[in-house]
Structure 1
Amino acid sequence: MKEEQPLPAFAQAFLAYLELEKRYSPHTVLAYRVDLEQFFGYLENTYGDISLKDIRYFHIQSWLVTGLAPGGKSATAVTIRRKISTLKSFFKYAVRKQLLEQSPMAKVNSPKIRKRLPVFVEEKGMQQLEENAAAGKPVFSDDFKGATARLILDLLYQTGMRRAELIGLKMQQVDTGNRQLKILGKGNKERFVPVSSPLLEQIAAYEARKRREIGSPDLERLLVKPNGKPLDESYVYKVVKAALSQVTTIRKKSPHILRHTFATHLMNNGADLNAVKELLGHSSLAATQVYTHNTIEKLKKVHQQAHPKAR
């Protein structure tokens, strides 16, 4: 195989457009970059020097079928859909910039994905976690590390924010007077999420302790590691996994599970779907509707257990 070639200038311009104009997160831009590097690398290695205007449907189909299946191992439907989405966005950009007359993606169809219900922690599990916190269980030790872990869990579960939103959260986003947080979501879209007085008190106590014990140089950032440095994805994941391992046997114990848990518990307790959409920062209602399935499943279970004619 030939040595990997750098991305063409027009592809670099597309990535700059995503970062500077669309305000996509660095993580998302990186995912687009990886997909484009794989695609153009495959074209170079398979078809030689091929211009943008010469790319056709069969080139793309060949990459999806062959290029994404090294060693005969097929890519998952989720992976293929994501890479198709990258190419559709890229070629749409190329048409808009008049680099192409039309996109070669018209006949490319994304594979269907079987919808899976979001995995979440039962309410009794989250109640047990709170009891563990009150009892000072190991993951919530009395030192600054334990205080950080507890605040991470409480913020994720009580606000439904994403891991990246948590890591970037600053003290100036905490509105004590209105009892709310201003969260910067995908594309730097702002949303306001109400928080309880106890959580605000916990944040204030944590901030005071951080200044007193850590003397962090990054005082704008709310949450920091015991060494004063900002949180990273791996640190947050380990904290959540350790805490959830105490109260649930679900296989996946990631920060996103707490986002699912936040939304599912709201829906199960009668929250309006549109309100949950706004709290999660979803751009469309379709992304939020998946949580109604969990609610329906709960209703079916209650009906089956309680109604004399259900069986």
Structure 2
Amino acid sequence: MNPSGWIDTAASPPQPLPDSIDAALDYLAGATGHPVYTRWTLSRLKRGCPSLADAKREHPAVFALLLEHEAAVEYWDRGRLRVVPAADAPPPETILERVLHQHRRRFHEVAYGNVPVTAGSGASSSSSLPATATAAVRLAALGPPPLAQHAAHAASTTSCAAGGWLARAGRFVNPSMVTNTLGVMDDAQAVLLFLRDRASRSPHTLRAYLADLRRLIAWCERERLGPLSDLTRHDLLAYRRAIELHQCPSGQRPDAGEAAPSGSRPRIRSGQPHIPLARSTAVPSRALAVVSSLFRYWLRTGYLIANPAADLCGGSAARAAWTPSRIMPAGVIALCDAVVAGAAPADLPALVWARRCAIWSLYRYGGVRLAELVWSDATGLPRLDADADTDSHWTLHVLGKGGKLRAIPLPAVALPPLRAYRLARGLPPVPVPFERLPVIHSEKRDALGASGLYDEVKAVFRAAENRVAPGDGVTRTVLRAASTHWLRHGYAHTLVVDHAVPLPVAQQLLGHASVQTTAAYAKSDLTQARAFVEGSFPRP
């Protein structure tokens, strides 16, 4: 095992672990805050303690073993310290791999094997790789597997055939290191810092940002433009026209021989494959929003001296025009609730069924995003709390977008499945104060990941589909298309439309950055507006 092939993404900038096993173990001990692998001898124990009495008091298990053996090993295993004779201890490489896997959200293995990676963020590099390859390695450290490999592949494929397409500086780059607070002089590293600061908190956000940036880079290569810091406002307006032009409901592009937008440079037509720029109404606005965010970040940090993407996207106007459409009808939701309230399937263990019901209850009555129920060792979130005065008031604490903490009161109807699941796990039915345990467990590791949570909710939809009456194709279609985010939309619709919860309160519960997003749910139903209109005029 080569420890230097692993990246610590919590460091700023991300940096590789030391080369040797012992140095890497010492690094992990300092990074995680607990011992990882220590080989004890009597002489080492004496050096660390003033006397044998102090050594016996501070390290009783180690002291007891050293009375019978020449050496003992203290190592970290599955959340606790173990002390065994040195002859019975596992190899340090095994413990190193286990700890790295346990903290896999922080430490990621580079997909390029034994590739040297620079620890600094400056433009100079001691690596023998091209700048784009180095950028790809560092980009792999921004997201958890398997997204890390996708991110590295995305960075490595953004350069053109001549190499180094992204590792260049355009006319708008600020050459002064006094005001250029990013401290870099090429677009490759500037993009990495943007992704680290704006998209690395969520793997889904990182994946979406990578896709939109690759779309822009592919267009620039086809138009013989670039680098990104060299694009003018005229170029970006041409890009906006291009993605709007390729937004076709059928997913097909216009004829390959059509003329380029007025004023733009001629396109490359020498057999270069077409890269689709947009496939739905959401893609153009999101793609432009990511580009605008990139250039705005570069301007604010001093990497650019101008922002050619100012007012490129609609911003608040686009947000105001958005209307949620993925809302499950009340009858379909009731069908799913009946599945969860019913008996467990005969072929499913009781604990797995209790977990599925608890997951459904949290997404159904908490309105959280998919990733917000994924356990984080660093923050201890998500977390369930119960009021000290009464055990019927529970609160779900999550970490939302942008690292914002959110407290969500859970209704009484959501509590019975959660109590039953805790009892099945061998936990008290009510969360105890200062409890630090994953809300949803996994059979293979401590907590269930995003894909596991998603699969459990889809299992409820599949079970509900089996109860649909023959010939009801609409309900079957809805259940097959539904996801966890549909439940979030339904939660928001219940608050805003069904019960007229004040928009600031609903915004806080949903974790929306803008109240305009929350208000958009009021446009998804005309029942309330129709009642107001009917009550305002005399009946015939």
- Normalising by structure 1, we get a TM-score of 0.77
Amino acid at match of 1:162: R
Q: Report the RMSD for the aligned CA atoms in angstroms.
A: 3.8
Q: Deviations over 1:113-161 (max 9, x none)?
A: 9644433234454344333323216499562222222111110111111
Given that residues 194 and 294 in structure 2 are in contact (C-alpha distance below 8 angstroms), is that contact kept between their aligned partners in structure 1? Answer: no
Q: Secondary structure in 1 aligned to 2:396?
A: strand
Amino acid at match of 1:60: L
Q: Deviations over 1:40-85 (max 9, x none)?
A: 344345426x455532133334444558959546623421211211
Change (3 A) 1:186 1:115: closer
Change (3 A) 1:292 1:46: closer
Q: 1:206 aligns with which of 407, 421, 426?
A: 421
Q: Secondary structure in 1 aligned to 2:526?
A: helix
Given that residues 140 and 149 in structure 1 are in contact (C-alpha distance below 8 angstroms), is that contact kept between their aligned partners in structure 2? Answer: no
User: Which position in structure 2 is the counterpart of 1:176?
Assistant: 386
Q: Distance in 2 between matches of 1:210 and 1:6?
A: 53
CA shift, 1:286, in A, is 0.3
User: Which position in structure 2 is the counterpart of 1:83?
Assistant: 287
Amino acid at match of 2:233: Y
User: Which position in structure 2 is the counterpart of 1:131?
Assistant: 338
Q: Distance in 2 between matches of 1:264 and 1:52?
A: 40
Matched, 1:16 2:193: yes
Q: Distance in 1 between matches of 2:216 and 2:305?
A: 20
Amino acid at match of 1:288: T
Matched, 1:121 2:328: yes
Q: Which stretch shows the higher mean deviation, 201-210 or 159-168? A: 201-210
Matched, 1:93 2:287: no
Unaligned runs of 5+ in 1: 213-218
User: Which position in structure 1 is the counterpart of 2:439?
Assistant: 222
Q: Distance in 2 between matches of 1:269 and 1:19?
A: 40
Matched, 1:282 2:527: no
Change (3 A) 1:293 1:249: farther
Change (3 A) 1:285 1:186: same
Unaligned runs of 5+ in 2: 1-158, 168-185, 247-251, 255-275, 388-392, 428-435, 469-474
Q: Distance in 1 between matches of 2:302 and 2:405?
A: 33
CA shift, 1:290, in A, is 1.3
Q: Which stretch shows the higher mean deviation, 153-162 or 89-98? A: 89-98
Q: Structure 1 runs of 4+ off > 6 angstroms?
A: 111-114, 301-304
CA shift, 1:194, in A, is 0.8
User: Which position in structure 2 is the counterpart of 1:165?
Assistant: 372
Matched, 1:105 2:322: no
Q: Secondary structure in 2 aligned to 1:175?
A: strand
Q: Secondary structure in 2 aligned to 1:174?
A: strand
Given that residues 139 and 243 in structure 1 are in contact (C-alpha distance below 8 angstroms), is that contact kept between their aligned partners in structure 2? Answer: no
User: Which structure has the greater CA radius of gyration?
Assistant: 2
Q: Secondary structure in 2 aligned to 1:180?
A: strand
User: Which position in structure 1 is the counterpart of 2:361?
Assistant: 154
Q: Secondary structure in 1 aligned to 2:406?
A: strand
Q: Which stretch shows the higher mean deviation, 295-304 or 90-99? A: 295-304
Matched, 1:263 2:439: no
CA shift, 1:278, in A, is 0.9
Q: Distance in 1 between matches of 2:198 and 2:242?
A: 33
- Normalising by structure 2, we get a TM-score of 0.48
Over the matched positions of the two proteins, sequence identity in percent amounts to 24
Amino acid at match of 2:187: F
Q: Secondary structure in 2 aligned to 1:193?
A: strand
Q: Distance in 2 between matches of 1:204 and 1:137?
A: 16
Q: Secondary structure in 2 aligned to 1:187?
A: helix
Change (3 A) 1:171 1:41: closer
Given that residues 361 and 417 in structure 2 are in contact (C-alpha distance below 8 angstroms), is that contact kept between their aligned partners in structure 1? Answer: no
Q: Deviations over 1:173-193 (max 9, x none)?
A: 111226211111001101111
Matched, 1:235 2:452: yes
Q: 2:231 aligns with which of 48, 55, 60?
A: 55
Amino acid at match of 1:164: A
Q: 1:194 aligns with which of 406, 409, 413?
A: 409
Given that residues 15 and 32 in structure 1 are in contact (C-alpha distance below 8 angstroms), is that contact kept between their aligned partners in structure 2? Answer: no
Q: Distance in 2 between matches of 1:140 and 1:295?
A: 41
**Which has the larger helix fraction?**
1
